[in-house]
Amino acid sequence: MTNNKPLMELSNVKVHFPVTKGLLRKVVGHVRAVDGVSFAINPGETVGLVGESGCGKTTLGRAILRLVPATDGRIVYNRSDAASPGKTTPVNLLDLDDDGLKPIRKEISAIFQDPYSSLNPRMTVADIIGEPLKIQRYPVSQRRDRAAELLERVGLSSTYMNRYPHEFSGGQRQRISVARSLALNPKLVICDEPVSALDVSVQAQILNLMADLQEEFDLTYLLVSHNLSVVQYVSHRIAVMYLGKVVELTEAKRLYTDPLHPYTEALLSAIPIADTEAKKEKIRLEGSVPSPINPPSGCHFHPRCRYSTPECAQTEPQLQERGDGHWVACLRAEELDLRGIYYQSPPAV
Amino acid sequence: MSTQIRDKAESSQNTTAKKDYGKSYWQLVWRKFRKDKAAIIGGVVLLVFYITMVFFAEGFAPYQMEHKHINYVNAPPQLPHFVDADGNFHLRPFVYPYKQEMDFATFSKKYTRDTSRTVPIYFFVKGDPYKLWGIFPSDLHLFGTEGDDPVFLFGTDRQGRDLLSRILGGGRISLTIGLVGVGLSLFFGSTLGIVSGYYGGTMDNIIQRITEFLMSFPAIPMWMGLAAALPPNWSSIKIYFGITIILSIIGWGGLARQIRGKVLALREEEYILAARSMGAKNWEIIFGHLFPNCVSHIIVVATLSIPGMILGETSLSFLGLGIKPPMTSWGVLLQEGQNVRTVVQAPWLLIPVLFVVVTVLCFNFLGDGLRDAADPHAQM
Amino acid sequence: MREFMIKRICYLIPTLIAISIVSFIIINLPPGDYLTARIAELEMQGDSTSKEYLEQLTSYYGLDKPMYEQYIRWITRFVQGNFGTSFEYNKPVKELIAERLTLTMLLSICTILFTWLVAIPIGIYSAVHRRSVIDRMLTFVSFTGMATPGFLMALVIMVAALSLFDVNLMGLFSREYADAPWSFGKVVDLLKHMWLPVFLIGLSGTAGLIRIMRANMLDILGQQYVLTARSKGLKEKVVIYKHALRIAINPLISIAGMSLPQIIGGEMLTSIVLNLPTTGPLFYRALQMQDMYLAGSFLMFLVVFLVMGNFVADLALAWTDPRIRYE
């Protein structure tokens, strides 16, 4: 990672869905699922993307994969040149058509949430893992060899090749998903809640596997999750999303020990801790997430924020850098002294 | 390697029984289907029907369909016997020949059994010549008699034609019209259903409205109206396809609706998203993911909609609006029964009803069994 | 609710227009229809009175005008209540249809009632006594019923009655009432004759509904709130009739709307076999004679009747089940 250029840069990405009403399907408003998100993902790192359900984190992941159309902004992927190492060519994914996207699809893959619905029940494991190669028109024999190799690599036996998804447990299925995402040797893997459908005991196994693979294959992850403990376990940097916007973005450790946004503080206080000595106050967020069709004025978080001032209802805070790589979108970020939690560094893998 | 250990720990959580290993979806479906006796019986009966009627009707029938036995008009059915009037057992089945008398009150023939003689039934006899599949000339029949006495297991009609032979020959039309009709509506129904469900939007809206519209039509009056509009001077084969098309015009709506529902559900599955994220084209997703997952559903819906088509053809031909003689279907045979007086004289002319009912029943059993088996993991 | 109704009505209008076009196409499809035959016949005669009549016909139906103008002419008259003339009977279609349509509707409604009254109790019984001997028997009987088309059953029953008991089951009225004006006696006579057609028309529908009711009921008896009701110690009867039944019956309302086309079709065939004075035989005869204006108007009538039935069923469903409204 001598290259100091980020692998992917998001700038002002917006995904709006029209809301229609009545017989004539008149557009009466927009769901601002993602509303101006900008950050960068560096090669080899894991960026965690956390937030409550409905905050737009999954939509952002899907917009990067071009599964939902982005309304505005740029998603620039810095493609490294095979011929001359170290050199990269920036491509805006949103400018490309299906054919132009095809070679990039080799380098960006995805792991989905539900291991039961993400594997086609009519296909054998070999076919599932080989599907990305099939789409890129690799010959059958190569597909099968690669599937066998990857099965072993994710901790399953290659004798499972001809079995069907229903013969596996949730954890095993997610391993198959991981294997599929690695089929084409991608650079970036978008992981959409990869472990939230699994038993807690299995979650750690899958996260460990992902960390192993990251090291081995120089992978970069964008890890979308609602679960801060999961994100903490593997992320280098974490972005917190609220109502379609990133409200805080910094190194994992900084976020936990020294949060700058009240929303982050509230989220952190909700993490259960086994240590009974460490007393902590739980911050209860009043009400529920407001509608993304009609977000509150000013700071979107102000109706639920316990530090809010009248000004917060007026002015919308911008994501600004406060100190080394610590970005936050809060008007009172300077003055507030928010509480973090004890940061448990991830076990060495 | 640590992952190996993890794997072991995990496989103990695996709830699926060992015997399932390596079984494809279709193998599981078959395993479940096999346990459904009614469905198996339905399937076997249908298989027998299709083989004897559609493929080898001429060979299984003792006579040619149009062979008029002018001396045996309106003859009642004969029962095959093994034990004769004297109590002797015969390994070879036989029938008693007809004895005819004139009833001068009604001026019609009266048939009685002549138990003094027996007419043995022989298998694989030479009889009326025919061309198998219109190509191979043959005169071999599964069974028949030798000599002048005929055998009419189901009796004859008022032109002296053997009803059994006519039922077997008529079955060819009745049974295939259902299949061809369903084939046609399947083609339209599944194409439009998949398009409607997968692409959504305006396309979906239009297709939805059309199917809704089709389904609000009463099928039978519609069929009658359209069938009556077929030009009377058309050839039999044109009429056959005309009727088939008419039957499927209304049939595809329901099918498209059901398949659309299935596709809508499938579209949300993450493996479809995954395939799209890999850059799969729409046709790759439709043929690689949607279609294979819909096939079982399509087969079930098709099986269950064949009876409607068969009954439609029967009703139309029965009313004289569908298949017309000399082409023969079960409905055409029943058309003779429209005259109640005739049927009171010769109630065996209603035997085709039995064939219609059994066929429809078997399709229903088969379809029901397939529907249950199509979801092999559900507990019934 | 109001928005739902408006939406439904908005769907209704294009549907009706489409139906009218289909009906008109059917009127005009046959190449050798009655009208052309009649015109040819008149031309053959060639005298002045028939020429006048010919011109009258041509201008009335706009036969010299393009197709769409003929259609507009026909549909305008239809909406105004002028349904054309039957060439065969030489009477206005309206007169021919009125009484027969009433009897058809009466038969259809009685059939639906019969279907429900028989199928719902049997379905419940079957579901509650699942896998009992009686349930298995009922299942087999209902499967056979589903496979037996009413008109074939009618044929068999009629022949059996005639040859075994010498009873003629044809018609809806006894001979002495057939052409008599309506009286109390005639109504009683009608009811006496009606059970058989109702049974025959309703046969397969009833059998189908038994299966649906049984499945619905089984589905709901397995739900958690039924378990809750049981765990509260409620009597099984209360659980079944107060908790489960209400919800199991709900989907049947939409089925009633959808089954109307089938009942009309079944009614038509059975009426033809039993020669009932309903619309079926008239329509059939019109088709046979290629009396297309009668047949077309008739088809249009039936479908409008059905679409309205569906509309009412939809509204009823929306009224009982608020989820539908917000679909």
pLDDT at C119: 87
Question: Could you tell me which residues of chain C have a Cβ less than 8 Å from any Cβ in chain A?
Answer: 3, 6-7, 10
pLDDT at B197: 83
B10–A205 C-beta distance less than 8 A = yes
Subunits next to C (3 or more Cβ pairs <8 Å) are: A, B
In the predicted model, is pLDDT for residue B46 greater than 80? yes
Cβ contacts from A onto C, under 8 A: 4
Least confident residue range of A3-17, B87-101, C153-167, C169-183: C169-183
CA C43 to chain CA centroid, nearest Å: 40
Q: Which residue of B has its CA nearest to C163?
A: B344
pLDDT at B75: 78
The pTM of the full predicted model, rounded to 2 decimals, is 0.78
Least confident residue range of B86-95, B249-258, B359-368, C50-59: C50-59
- Measured between beta carbons, the chain A residues lying within 8 angstroms of B274 are 110, 112, 118, 131, 177, 180
Q: Give pLDDT tens digits for C6-18.
A: 777 777 787 788 8
Subunits next to B (3 or more Cβ pairs <8 Å) are: A, C
For residue C197, is the peptide bond before it cis, meaning its omega torsion is within 30 degrees of 0? no
Token readout for A333 is 């970020």
- Does A114 contact B at CB distance below 8 Å? yes
Confidence of residue B11 (pLDDT cuts 50, 70, 90): very low
C307–B220 C-beta distance less than 8 A = no
- Measured between beta carbons, the chain C residues lying within 8 angstroms of A25 are none
Q: DSSP assignment, residue C170?
A: -
For chain A, which residues score pLDDT lower than 50? 1-2, 348-349
- Does A24 contact C at CB distance below 8 Å? no
In the predicted model, is pLDDT for residue C315 greater than 80? no
Compute the average pLDDT of residues B338-352. 79
In the predicted model, is pLDDT for residue B221 greater than 60? yes
Q: Which residue has the tokens 């002549």?
A: B114
Local structure of B114: helix, strand or coil: coil
Greater confidence (C170 vs B74) lies with B74
Residues of B (135-174) whose Cβ lies below 8 Å from A: none
Token readout for A186 is 């991608």
E strands in A212-311: 220-225, 237-242, 245-251
C-alpha dihedral sign at A324, A328, A330, A333: negative
Confidence of residue B8 (pLDDT cuts 50, 70, 90): very low
% of chain B with per-residue pLDDT over 90: 0
Cα A124 to Cα A165: distance, rounded to the nearest angstrom: 7
What is the least distance, in Å, from the CA of B21 to any CA of chain A?
Answer: 6
Q: Give pLDDT tens digits for B120-172.
A: 777 787 777 777 777 788 777 777 777 777 778 788 887 778 888 888 888 88
Least confident residue range of A335-339, B373-377, C240-244: B373-377
Q: Give pLDDT tens digits for C100-119.
A: 888 888 888 888 888 888 88
Greater confidence (A246 vs B208) lies with A246
Least confident residue range of A138-142, B192-196, B351-355, C85-89: C85-89
pLDDT at A60: 92
Cα A135 to Cα A102: distance, rounded to the nearest angstrom: 9
% of chain C with per-residue pLDDT over 70: 80
The size of chain B, in residues, is 380
Residues of A (196-225) whose Cβ lies below 8 Å from B: 202, 205, 209, 212
Report how far apart, in Å, the C-alpha atoms of A308 and of each of A315, A335, C280 are. 12, 12, 76
Least confident residue range of A164-178, B357-371, C236-250: C236-250
- Measured between beta carbons, the chain C residues lying within 8 angstroms of B338 are 155, 273
Greater confidence (C223 vs A327) lies with A327
E strands in chain A: 8-21, 26-41, 46-50, 72-80, 88-92, 108-111, 188-192, 220-225, 237-242, 245-251, 320-321, 327-328
Q: Which residue of B has its CA nearest to C159?
A: B344
B307–C143 C-beta distance less than 8 A = no
DSSP C267-320: HHHHHHHHT-SSHHHHHHHHHHTT-HHHHHHHHHHHHHHHHHHHHHHHHHHHHH
In the predicted model, is pLDDT for residue C132 greater than 80? yes
pLDDT at B12: 42
Q: Give pLDDT tens digits for B276-315.
A: 888 888 888 888 888 888 888 888 888 888 888 888 888 8
- Measured between beta carbons, the chain A residues lying within 8 angstroms of C10 are 23
Compute the average pLDDT of residues C177-203. 76
Q: Give pLDDT tens digits for B250-282.
A: 778 778 888 888 888 888 788 988 998 888 888
pLDDT at B380: 38
Compute the average pLDDT of residues C308-323. 72
Q: Are B247 and B223 in contact (CB under 8 A)?
A: yes
Q: Which residue of B has its CA nearest to A167?
A: B16
What is the least distance, in Å, from the CA of C10 to any CA of chain A?
Answer: 9
pLDDT at C177: 66
- Does B300 contact C at CB distance below 8 Å? no
Q: Which among B378, B198, B193 is positioned nearest to B275, based on CA atoms?
A: B198
Cα C212 to Cα C221: distance, rounded to the nearest angstrom: 14
- Does A156 contact B at CB distance below 8 Å? yes
